[in-house]
């Protein structure tokens, strides 16, 4: 993995940050994207001093097409040779019923989880095709396998991530470029705080009575897929906490 260039979206926290760390620990060069420039700067300094990582910060909102096109087409000095794209930026907003939920929340999820993921892929993969190598790793979700109460549009966006991953894998099957969809279940990050619009008490309850996964647990799987031998394509991985059986089946200790 040494010297591979890894581009991670949503790298300032959670699964994205954990992915950045594991690739940094393994000698990769990192292009880190997120909106929060301060947090990215902190990670850059931390990884540089701890692992000597070569890091380029590419702060923009993945939903901003003009900013994404400008940032990615402007890559030079070897940074344009992206080996691994980790499409991690994404979020859930709300758990209201489909006939009652906030339409703005829906559009934010669709814009981020679906439209931006497809667009970043569209902007990065042509370079991989030209160089005849590369790997796209999408962060999907167990939510994409089946809908659960209050999850309808979020689940729909993650089902779309599966379709986008499968479609890309099909379109690249005559190339050495690999496509992976990693589908986490309950992972304790800022995910639920964001989902509940900052209501920390409600967010905490999501993980009551169950030991959830961590960002690092998911990053380990991402790294495994990225470092598998060239002829091995980890197409899809569902990663659940031991007491979670599906998006809606969660056993909680009383
Ligand atoms: C995150 C997992 O179970 O909260 O995508 O939908 S879940």
Instruction: Say if 252 falls within a structural domain.
Output: no
Any atom of ligand 1 within 6 Å of the Cβ of 142: yes
Q: Could you tell me if residue 183 is inside a domain?
A: yes
Distance CA 47, CA 24 (A): 7
Q: Can you give the pLDDT at residue 254?
A: 84
Strand partners, 114: none
Atom of ligand 1 nearest to the CA of 247: 3
Which backbone phi and psi does 115 adopt, to 5 degrees? -65, -45
Closest CA to 183 of 154, 143, 146: 143
In a domain, 22, yes or no: yes
Residue 25: what pLDDT? 98
Domain assignment present for 253:
no
Which amino acid residue places its CA nearest to atom 5 of ligand 1?
141
Catalytic residues: 154
Is 42 inside a domain boundary?
yes
Domains identified in the chain, total number: 1
What pLDDT is stored for residue 218 in this prediction? 98
**Is 213 a pocket residue for ligand 1 (Cβ < 6 Å)?**
no
Q: 46 CA to middle of ligand 1, Å? A: 29
83-140 pLDDT, tens digit each: 999 999 999 999 999 999 999 999 999 999 999 999 999 999 999 999 999 999 999 9
Query: Is residue 161 one of the residues assigned to a domain?
Result: yes
User: Which atom of ligand 1 is nearest the CA belonging to 143?
Assistant: 6
Q: Atom 2 (ligand 1): residue with closest C-alpha?
A: 185
Cβ-in-10-Å burial (0-12, 13-18, 19+) of 52 comes to exposed
User: Can you give the pLDDT at residue 2?
Assistant: 84
Q: Is residue 248 part of a domain?
A: no
Residue 50 Cα to ligand 1 midpoint, Å, equals 32
Residue segments in the chain with a per-residue pLDDT below the cut of 70: none
251 located within any domain: no
Q: What is the pLDDT of residue 120?
A: 98
User: CB–CB of 206/158 below 8 Å?
Assistant: no
Domain of residue 214: give its range: 5-239
- For the chain, what is the HEC assignment? CCCCEEEECCCCCHHHHHHHHHHHHCCCEEEECCCCHHHHHHHHHHHHHHHCCCEEECCCCCCCHHHHHHHHHCCCCCCCCCCEEEECCCCCCCCCCCCCCCHHHHHHHHHHHHHHHHHHHHHHHHHHHHHCCCEEEEECCHHHCCCCCCCHHHHHHHHHHHHHHHHHHHHCCCCCCEEEEEEECCECCCHHHHHCCCCHHHHHHCCCCCCCECHHHHHHHHHHHHHCCCCCCCCEEEECCCCECCCCCECCCC
Instruction: Kindly give the number of the ligand 1 atom that is closest to the alpha carbon of 140.
Output: 5
Residue 141: CB within 6 Å of ligand 1? Answer: yes
What is the model's pLDDT at position 1?
83
The CATH number of the domain holding residue 173 is: 3.40.50.720
């Amino acid at each position: 993995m040494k010297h591979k260039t890894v581009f991670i979206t949503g790298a300032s926290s959670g699964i994205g940050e954990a992915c950045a760390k594991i690739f940094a620990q393994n000698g990769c060069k990192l292009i880190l994207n997120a909106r929060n420039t301060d947090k990215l700067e902190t990670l850059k300094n931390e990884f540089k001093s701890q692992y000597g990582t070569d890091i380029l910060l590419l702060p923009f909102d993945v939903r901003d097409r003009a900013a994404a096109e400008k940032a990615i087409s402007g890559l030079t000095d070897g940074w344009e040779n992206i080996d691994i794209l980790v499409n991690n930026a994404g979020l859930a907003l709300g758990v209201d019923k489909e006939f009652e939920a906030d339409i703005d929340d829906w559009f934010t999820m669709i814009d981020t989880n679906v439209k931006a993921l497809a667009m970043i892929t569209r902007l990065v993969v042509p370079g991989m095709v030209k160089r005849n190598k590369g790997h796209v790793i999408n962060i999907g979700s167990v939510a994409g396998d089946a809908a659960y109460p209050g999850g309808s549009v979020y689940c729909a966006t993650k089902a779309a991530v599966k379709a986008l991953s499968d479609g890309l894998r099909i379109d690249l099957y005559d190339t050495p470029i690999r496509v992976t969809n990693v589908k986490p279940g309950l992972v304790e990050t800022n995910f639920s705080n964001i989902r509940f619009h900052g209501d920390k008490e409600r967010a905490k309850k999501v993980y009551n009575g169950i030991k959830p996964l961590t960002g690092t647990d998911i990053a380990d799987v991402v790294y495994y897929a990225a470092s598998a031998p060239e002829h091995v394509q980890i197409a899809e991985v569902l990663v659940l906490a031991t007491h979670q059986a599906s998006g809606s089946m969660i056993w909680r200790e009383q």
